[in-house]
Amino acid sequence: MKILIVDDNRASNLLIKKVIEKWGYETITAQDGEEAWELIQKNKVRIIIMDWMMPKIDGVTLCRKIRAASLPDYIYIILLTSKNKKEDLVYGFSSGADDFAIKPVNPDELMVRIKAGKRIIDLEEMAKKSHTQLMQSEKMASIGQLAAGVAHEINNPTGFVSSNLKTLSDYQNDIYEVIKKYKKLLADISVSVDIPAPVTEQVNNIITFEQEIDLDFLLNDITDLIKECREGTERIRKIVLDLKNFAHPGYDQLKSVDINENIDSTLNVVWNEIKYKATVAKEYGKLPLVKCYPQQLNQVFMNLLVNAVQAIEENGEIVISTAALDGHVEIKVSDTGTGIPEENISKLFDPFFTTKDVGKGTGLGLNVAYNIIKKHNGNINVESRVGKGTTFTVQIPV
């Protein structure tokens, strides 16, 4: 946390700087309000300790300037002054100051006031993070409802297309049988000697046309085309079902589920993210049913899978393994990606921590996963080696 010290008395400035840096804070200094305002705009300052009386711009004027500005973060302001009248304190607070310290400043008193300011800043940060997480949760809930609605709308036309293809396949089989009988009749007529010449000519024309269009190929290909279309509609049906299961609005219902099926369902939903960069190997063990919030666990699996594929720069492999261990179900998601530096491991599950480029991550994915697993009284751990890959291990009680 960066603290700005503003005092036109150079000796006082240096003394306060030395005391504060001894407590482990980063400091910058200014000798008047004008210089301080320039530093505020260039630095992420969270606490300002400044003298009331200064040349160019005094302390209370700078307070008003700061409060009137649209700064990204709240700045806690401690005014240093020899003024101790009630009306002076009221004037200072009304100008935007958060606290006062009477000059000459006692180091222990100043430390206490800085700690009070840090508590306020920490509370503000927590409030901002909670608000962002709430917005993210609401966004995910809205997306879930939208996805469920879209899945339902896709499912209806897919259902009647699939039904019509089934009917068409039955019709095609009947037509094929009729054509076989026609072809036998033509074959019989073509070798008969008692058929009038015009009929014989028409028969020969039909046989020639059959050969030109390759009727046998067409009949076989129509069968194959209908079969492929039916397989396609079945794939759509499966994707829609997985999407509905993944994003179902009944988010908070405890159910007993097969974790392997949930992983497969989630994998199907995110497959488009994975298929161009990685192959997936599944090493599933036989698992007992787990009583859980399935849609929330699907969110965990999705976050881990998307994280894994984003860690792979070109082509790699993702391995998903499951096993039943001592009253727990263990799920491992491993990738052959870039790996995570050791100094970042301890921060992975912190809210808003991300090593991704701007716009590619919110830093909430793993934090959300962590909170969901803790809600299930489970554990989530990570092992990683730079250049080798990463393994996330989730354990959930049965």
The answer to whether residues 237 and 275 belong to one domain is no
Within a domain: 112: no
What pLDDT is recorded for position 382?
93
- pLDDT one-digit tens code per residue, 140-179: 555 665 666 666 677 778 777 888 888 888 888 888 888 8
Domain co-membership, 54 together with 185: no
| Cα–Cα distance for residue pair 359/346, rounded to 1 Å | 23
Tens of pLDDT, residue by residue over 278-337, are 999 999 999 999 998 888 888 889 889 988 998 898 889 999 999 998 889 999 999 999
Enclosing domain of residue 313 = 255-397
The last residue of one of the domains, among 246, 275, 297, is 246
pLDDT at residue number 358: 45
Please report the pLDDT score of residue 6 as a whole number. 92
Asked, as a colleague might, if the bond just before 341 is cis with ω within 30 of 0, I would say no
Residue 37 placed within a domain: yes
Q: How many domains is the chain partitioned into structurally?
A: 3
Q: What is the mean pLDDT of the chain?
A: 84
User: Does residue 116 belong to any structural domain of this protein?
Assistant: no
Lookup result for tokens 């921060």: 347
Same domain flag for 274 and 388 = yes
Compute the distance between CA of residue 362 and CA of residue 7 in angstroms, rounded to an integer: 39
| Residue 297 identity | L
Domain end position, chosen among 221, 246, 271: 246
Q: Which CATH number do you get for residue 10? A: 3.40.50.2300
- Which pTM does this prediction carry? 0.49
pLDDT of residue 156: 74
216 versus 353: the higher-pLDDT residue is 216
Residue at 215 is within a domain: yes
Last residue in a domain, options 105, 128, 157 = 105
- Whose structure tokens read 């009947």? 174
Confidence category of residue 359, pLDDT binned at 50, 70, 90: very low
- Of the chain, the percentage scoring pLDDT greater than 90 comes to 29
Q: What is the CATH number of the domain that holds 262?
A: 3.30.565.10
What confidence category does residue 76 fall into, taking pLDDT thresholds of 50, 70 and 90? very high
Judgement on whether residues 33 and 70 belong to the same structural domain of the protein:
yes
